[in-house]
Structure 1
Amino acid sequence: MRITVEGISEGKPIPGPFAFAVPDPKEHMNLSDNRNPKVVWDGAPEGTRSFALLVVDPDAPTDASDVNQEGKTVPEELPRADFYHWVLVDIPAEVRQIDEGEDSDGVTPRGKSTGRVEKGVRGANDYTDFLAGDPDMKGVYGGYDGPCPPWNDERLHHYIFTVYALDVTSLGLDGDFRGPDVIKAMEGHILDRASVTGTYTLNANV
Structure 2
Amino acid sequence: MSLDRPVAPNPYELLPAVPSFTVTSEDVTDGAPLKDDQVAAEGNTSPQLAWNGAPEGTESYVVTVFDPDAPTPSGFWHWVLVDVPADVTSLATGAASGDLPGGAFHVRNDGGEQGFMGAAPPEGDMPHRYYLVVHAVSEPTLGVDADASPAVVSFNLAFKTLGRAVIHGTYQH
Q: Give the shorter-chain TM-score range.
A: 0.7 to 0.9
| Structure 1 residue identity aligned to 2:57 | G
Q: What 5-or-longer segments of structure 2 have no aligned partner?
A: 1-20
Q: Given the alignment of the two structures, is residue 56 of structure 1 paired with residue 28 of structure 2, yes or no? A: no
Residue 108 of structure 2 corresponds to residue 124 of structure 1: yes
C-alpha separation in 1, matches of 2:114 and 2:58 = 25
Alignment of 1:13-32 (within 5 A): 13-21=33-41, 32=42
Question: 1:69 matched to which residue of 2?
Answer: none
Trace 1:1-206 onto structure 2 (pairs within 5 A).
Answer: 1-21=21-41, 32-62=42-72, 81-104=74-97, 117-119=100-102, 120-128=104-112, 141-153=113-125, 155-202=126-173
Structure whose residues are more often helix by fraction: 2
Aligned length: 152
Give me the CA root mean square deviation.
1.6
Quick one: percent identity of the two aligned structures? Answer: 37
**Higher fraction of strand:** 1
Q: Is the 8 A contact 1:123 1:179 kept in 2?
A: yes
The gaps in structure 1 that reach 5 residues or longer are 22-31, 63-79, 106-115, 129-140
Q: Is the 8 A contact 1:11 1:198 kept in 2?
A: yes
Tell me how far apart the structure 1 counterparts of residues 58 and 96 of structure 2 sit (CA, whole Å): 23
Partner of 2:16: none
- C-alpha displacement of 1:193: 0.6
Larger Cα-atom Rg: 1
| Residues 87, 178 of structure 1: 8 Å contact kept | no
**TM-score scaled by length of structure 1:** 0.70
TM-score (norm 2): 0.82
